[in-house]
Amino acid sequence: QYAQKDGFRFFMEKEIYEQSDVVSDCMLERVKDETTSFDEINDSILDGINEIKICACGTSYHAGITSSYLFERLSKIKCNVEIASEFRYKQPLLTKDTLFIVISQSGETADTLEVLKMAKKAGLKTLVICNVDNSSMTRLAHYSILTRAGIEKGVASTKAFSTQTVTLWMLALYFANVKKSISNEVMQKELTALREVPNALKIEDKIHEKTRRLSKRYLHGHGFFFIGRDVFYPLALEGALKLKEISYLHAEGYPAGEMKHGPIALADPELFTIALMPQNLLYDKVKSNVEELSARDSTICSISSLDFELSDDFVKIQETNHYMLEFFEMLVVVQLLSMEISIRLGNDVDMPRNLAKSVTVE
């Protein structure tokens, strides 16, 4: 089912379009009336746990940062995230009240596998969020939750990321239910939003067409900044990573509020700012950050459900009532935009130079 391009130009394109369906698979039997649940774990997973540590690489690391906001906000558990190759050599303090989570599409990435071994050896409870059953990591960790994205062939990860993020959001809600850390009302609002994710990932023709037209303008210049706050910061990191991976253009993801501490010095019309401006989360704060960049003549492309008059370009997403739905709508936009830019530059979208799908050596 997943091995053919089915009329799409590239596997990446097919996989971007598959996201709505695979996310539905990922949520199957896991989103219940009152909470979320997983066959793979039970409430005792949180016994004696006071914090969560997440380690991963690449796109999986970005899913990890996204979830750290959700674990703190919803589950009220302290959470921090580190890049596996850094964690591995820092002689980290590992304490047994920590639930150690690794995230990996393949389950084989050498650095992530190594930190999982370290944590297990130190006696920590370990959990892997993985797309490949019977991989090295699922065999090693105490608990595994599968993301059910199906085979991902494009080197630039797309549907692996959306299913990881949804899985981690469901997990944050599961923990919230165990710890009774949010009200029933908030839980219901979250569950309603979760059920809407497959819809948010459906791609309207006009959105794809818009990214195709934008790709004509965003080929040159001296760089891109993707900016956002809160969970839109890791989404900015992911947008920038996609663009680097397949277009070979210089791009950075940055917290919107941090631009004034250095990067704004780069602003001029040849600097492209892709501004993630969710209506449901810190809109005015991001808006004022974008205004500062606009005042310094950066070219602004905003992605939002609200019109923003200072934008040079604008991708309008559907209005929703939850920031995570905006997150998934914007995810599709940044994925399509990098793919269209890459295609226009004549690159091999599925097999970018110098990159491998799975990095099994250090």
SS3 at position 52: strand
Stretch in the footprint of ligand G6P (CB under 6 A) among 11-19, 47-55, 58-66, 246-254 = 58-66
Strand-by-strand arrangement of the 251-255 sheet: 251-255, 223-228, 271-276, 299-304, 313-316
**Closest CB to ligand G6P among residues 111, 190:** 111
Decide if residue 347 touches ligand G6P (CB under 6 A).
Answer: no
Q: Which residues pair with 227 in a beta bridge?
A: 254, 275
At its nearest, how many Å lie between ligand G6P and the CB of residue 136?
Answer: 11
Decide if residue 83 touches ligand G6P (CB under 6 A).
Answer: no
d(CA 337, CA 355) in angstroms, rounded, equals 20
Decide if residue 157 touches ligand G6P (CB under 6 A).
Answer: yes
- Any alpha helices (H) in 180-231, and if so which ranges? 184-195, 197-200, 205-217
| DSSP per-residue string spanning 71-84 | IIIII--EEEEEEH
Angle between helix 323-344 and 184-195 (nearest 10)? 30
At its nearest, how many Å lie between ligand G6P and the CB of residue 101?
Answer: 13
Give me the half-sphere count of Cα atoms (radius 13 Å) on the Cβ side of residue 264. 15
The 10 Å Cβ neighbour count of residue 71 is: 26
Instruction: Enumerate residues 200-229 that contact ligand G6P by CB under 6 A.
Output: none
Q: Which of 16, 22, 54, 57 binds ligand G6P (CB under 6 A)?
A: 57
**Closest CB to ligand G6P among residues 80, 358:** 358
Decide if residue 66 touches ligand G6P (CB under 6 A).
Answer: no
Decide if residue 358 touches ligand G6P (CB under 6 A).
Answer: yes
Give me the half-sphere count of Cα atoms (radius 13 Å) on the Cβ side of residue 310. 19
Count of residues engaged in binding ligand G6P, rule: CB under 6 A: 15
**Closest CB to ligand G6P among residues 153, 189:** 153
Number of helical H runs and strand E runs in the chain: 12, 10
Stretch in the footprint of ligand G6P (CB under 6 A) among 51-59, 224-232, 292-300, 337-345 = 51-59
**Closest CB to ligand G6P among residues 112, 163:** 112
**Letter for the amino acid at 3?**
A
Decide if residue 109 touches ligand G6P (CB under 6 A).
Answer: yes
179 is catalytic: no
Q: Which of 19, 20, 36, 60 binds ligand G6P (CB under 6 A)?
A: 60
Q: Given the residues 76, 120, 179, 357, select the one marked as catalytic.
A: 357
Decide if residue 135 touches ligand G6P (CB under 6 A).
Answer: no
**Which position has the token pair 């992911």?**
238
Diameter over CA atoms, the chain: 55
Stretch in the footprint of ligand G6P (CB under 6 A) among 8-16, 103-111, 232-240, 275-283 = 103-111
At its nearest, how many Å lie between ligand G6P and the CB of residue 155?
Answer: 5
Strand-by-strand arrangement of the 125-130 sheet: 78-83, 51-56, 98-104, 125-130, 143-146
**Closest CB to ligand G6P among residues 158, 177:** 158
Decide if residue 104 touches ligand G6P (CB under 6 A).
Answer: yes
Phi and psi, residue 262, nearest 5°: 145, -65
At its nearest, how many Å lie between ligand G6P and the CB of residue 99?
Answer: 19
- The CA-atom distances, in angstroms, between 192 and each of 165, 188, 294, 320 are 16, 6, 36, 12
Q: Which of 11, 20, 58, 243 binds ligand G6P (CB under 6 A)?
A: 58
d(CA 142, CA 52) in angstroms, rounded, equals 15
**Closest CB to ligand G6P among residues 151, 355:** 355
Decide if residue 357 touches ligand G6P (CB under 6 A).
Answer: yes
Phi and psi, residue 356, nearest 5°: -125, 150
Which position's Cβ is nearest ligand G6P? 58
Selection from 140, 173, 161 nearest residue 38 by Cα: 173
Q: Which of 112, 136, 215, 335 binds ligand G6P (CB under 6 A)?
A: 112
Positions in the binding site for ligand G6P (CB under 6 A):
57-60, 104-106, 109, 112, 155, 157, 355, 357-359
Q: Which residues are catalytic?
A: 357
